[in-house]
Structures are given as C-alpha cells and as structure tokens.
Amino acid sequence: MTENIVWHDQTVSRAEKEQHKGHKPVLLWYTGLSGSGKSTIANAVEAKLFELGCHTYLLDGDNVRMGLNKGLTFSDEDRIENIRRISEVAKLFVDAGLIVSTAFISPFKEDRARARSIMNKGEFVEVFIDTPLEVCESRDPKGLYKKARAGEIPNFTGISSAFDVPEQPEIHVKTAEQSIEQSVEQIIGYLREAGIIEI
C-alpha cells in the first residue's frame, strides 16, 4: 500500500550540502568478477579521497550481506534484490552529499542499468574492474573459485553464472596491466576531469 506515502522534502537542499562538503556527490559503482580487485581499489580510492578532504562512504558486498542483506542467497533472484537494496541505500548516501563507492560483482547489466536510472544524471559512475578470469582465479583470495570448480558453490559468477561485461563504463580499469596506485590515479583523474572534485 503506497497511496498514503508522500515524499517529504528536506529543509537543507542538495545544493547546500554540496557547497558545505566542497565537492559534488556521486556514486562510484565498481563491478567485476570475484577477485578482480574491486574492494582493494575502492578502498584505496576512498583513502585517497579522504586524504583530499572529501566526504565518502564505501559499501562493500560482503559487509552488506552480513547485515542489511543478510539471508539473501546467490540465486539470480536474490542477486537482483541484493543490488536493488544497495542501489536505494547508495542513493540516500549520495543525497546526503557523499562520494559513495559500492564494490559488488553486480553481474547483470539490467541491475546496473536500474541502479543508474534511480540516480540523477551524472551521479552514477560505472567503474569496470576488468580482470581476466584466469587472473582472478589465480588470486582466489577467498578460495571461492576452487570451491566453485569442485561444485561446492552453485551460481558462481564466471564459472556457473553469467557476468554481463559493461559495454560503456565511465571508467575502465584493467588491473592486469597497471598497479593499484595507477588505478587509483585513473579514477581520481576522472573525478577531477568530470568536475566532481576540484582538489
């Protein structure tokens, strides 16, 4: 029943929040295979932004599944709901004026498109952490690929579940060809060029 729900406008405007924080709000949506380096790079970028005086928040896939999305499985249906919820949470953080990072596999292009659609124009920045499957599998920091290959983990992205490669991401990071530091500079460089940060 939503007919009795009315959006309540806030006293403090988006423009006032932006001026107060000294940068534009944006959602950096990191997507890529398990082990691609999403969380590592997202954390490094956040640390750099914090060093520059920006107001940030990082939503990590595993962390969110321990609370907000606890109980959701890795079925296609639950993956969709996982991303829907995190999209709405990220939108709230952006509305608060923050530079928000989300580090999720988010394998389906429809889900990423839906996340983009609820944001204001220019506030959704897709960051494709493009790491070849064989590199991700050789890293296997959590031992998940080994379990997936053994049939112990169903619906594992890249093995038994599809990953829709982003067609036109705002930022395309090839981790097999550059260091973490270079990846961070690439992303920070984009934010400067886009006028999101001026420092």
Q: Catalytic residues, which ones?
A: 106
Please report, as a single letter, which amino acid is at residue 118. Answer: I
User: Do the beta carbons of residue 25 and residue 99 sit within 8 Å?
Assistant: yes
Q: How far apart are CA 132 and CA 175, in angstroms?
A: 9
Non-local CB neighbours of 85 within 8 Å, separated by 6+ positions = 64, 68, 69
Straight-line distance from the first to the last Cα atom of the chain, in angstroms, rounded to the nearest whole number:
46
- E strands, 21-156, are 26-31, 56-60, 99-103, 124-130
